[in-house]
A and B are shown apart, each in its own frame.
Chain A
């Protein structure tokens, strides 16, 4: 079946990217040594590969996959190809919640939970706003995103300036805000992986029902989908995925927008295929972007959010220009 071969191709792409990501780093390590390291060698190289590079690559994969899947879900729900966690302000809301959690002194493992809560509140707000007009228009979603992102940004800035606790970690918080998958410990990765797995599970189960929203909520209902329950579940899955992504890597934009959109033209619009494909392609994309962030201006690092922005923003503009037919 075509679906399987596409998914197979994407899995292969992800593996290739991951291998590239592990082979390249600040310290040059021979491929033979890399293999030995993965098999458990005890030397410095082993530690570098297993404790620094591998978690980073896996983290990038989780973040990219989550954001792309969340984007696919939001686009289907809002009937709008321009929706994604970043554009709709969901990521910004998650970020604000995470920063608040840090300011209030919450323990580190609780920060992803705060992030998820922030994402949930924001995505629900966006959904409500989008429905007010009796339908979702491009303008409403974009405006909602702009307003929420600006508001979250303003509050974060205020907190950065006024909180002593944050001042101590100022550079770290700023770096995180620019989007980066730098140092992830295995326990952190484990918690995030669980959250992502739950969100992805929901997404896969709900995928075919998201298709039913193609002609609006009423039609989804007449096609047999319980709009309230399904909408809540989809929003919840989106919040889990974007919350986990933000907790791991801060603000990484455009992955959720560009990946599902590009895939749609390659494999069609049905979410049954789009959701798993988005996860795999998004994972591969961010692993490659992280690779770029480590190598483009070596030895310094570019924040990954800068790379996704550099590539994603022109793509987004091109989309807008092509979407002349969208009623704004």
Chain B
């Protein structure tokens, strides 16, 4: 059972404070969605959780130990981040991209062990990429490329998986497929999954918990039902949206315009 916890995290880029005293924790088997308006600080929170940005105040602990105490390669064996950019001009094959996930575990001169090869194989299998394994990644569609980098993160065989807006360029069908896959993988591999999502309904449908960030502060966290009520939605996202119940989960829809 892994736990990743942010405690009173304040983060800034130079003089600009982006996050103020955010605290929450997550553990294995959970899928946490971070939602909020643009510029609220969601991506920043994710970067702090990944150890890419040091908090100005507060700390992030992994299984109780401060994240800053881990060297980079040790962090990479526990926390994987699916990159937002997956464009490359170089002709890496899909298998080579997935193999990048093993970087933190390779021996000298980058020699891969049998375990590394097996992990790559498992990740490729989990994302049904066998048919594309030898294809060049710069020749695949956006959706296929995203699966490849997701496999790369999985190949890291970590306990925590972080994603920043993994569905933003996908059509609704692919959005559902990706998130469904994440939920299945999270369960199967007992991962702690945390994703920044811009779509409240996707968050509602797939997340076990939602964290709402607005203007750098953590406004509310809890189950979708606890978090997504009309009052909060209006306060954070403005009026024009209303919350309806559907199959026990809240759905956020635009208000029907008057006239």
Contacts and interface: CB of A to CB of B under 8 A. Distances in A.
Nearest to B155: A223
A208 B92 contact: no
A296 B77 CA distance: 57
A79 interface: yes
B69 to A, nearest CB: 15
Contacts of A212: 100, 103
Nearest to B149: A215
Interface string A203-229: 011011101101110110111111100
A76 B88 CA distance: 11
B104 A216 contact: no
Interface in B82-124: 83, 85-86, 88-93, 96-97, 100-101, 103-106, 108-110
A87 to B, nearest CB: 15
A208 B102 CA distance: 11
Contact of B97 (A75, A209, A214, A222): A214
A219 B93 CA distance: 18
A222 B80 CA distance: 6
Given A224-B75, A226-B71, A272-B110, A219 B85 contact: yes
B83 A216 contact: yes
A224 B76 contact: yes
A224 B50 CA distance: 11
Interface string A68-104: 0000000110011100000000000000000000000
Interface residues of A, number: 34
Interface residues of B, number: 35
Given A268-B93, A269-B96, A205 B108 contact: yes
A150 interface: no
B83 A264 contact: no
Main secondary structure of the interface of A (DSSP, over half): helix
A274 to B, nearest CB: 9
A221 B70 CA distance: 13
Interface in A30-76: 75-76
Q: Which residue among B83, B90, B105 has the maximum number of chain A CB atoms within 10 Å of its CB?
A: B90
Given A205-B109, A215-B149, A223 B103 contact: yes
B91 A323 contact: no
B109 A218 contact: no
Contacts of B85: 135, 215-216, 219
A270 B103 CA distance: 12
B79 A222 contact: yes
Contact of A81 (B47, B71, B89, B104): B89
A158 interface: no
A205 B107 CA distance: 10
B3 interface: no
A322 B108 CA distance: 36
Contact of A80 (B47, B73, B89, B100): B89
B72 A211 contact: no
A268 to B, nearest CB: 7
A326 interface: yes
27 contacts: A75-B90, A79-B88, A79-B89, A79-B90, A80-B89, A205-B108, A207-B109, A207-B110, A208-B109, A215-B83, A215-B88, A215-B149, A219-B83, A219-B85, A222-B80, A222-B81, A223-B76, A223-B100, A223-B156, A224-B72, A225-B72, A227-B72, A268-B93, A269-B90, A269-B92, A270-B96, A326-B89
**10 closest A-B pairs (Cβ-Cβ)?**
A208-B110, A224-B104, A224-B76, A222-B81, A269-B90, A219-B83, A224-B73, A215-B83, A226-B72, A223-B103
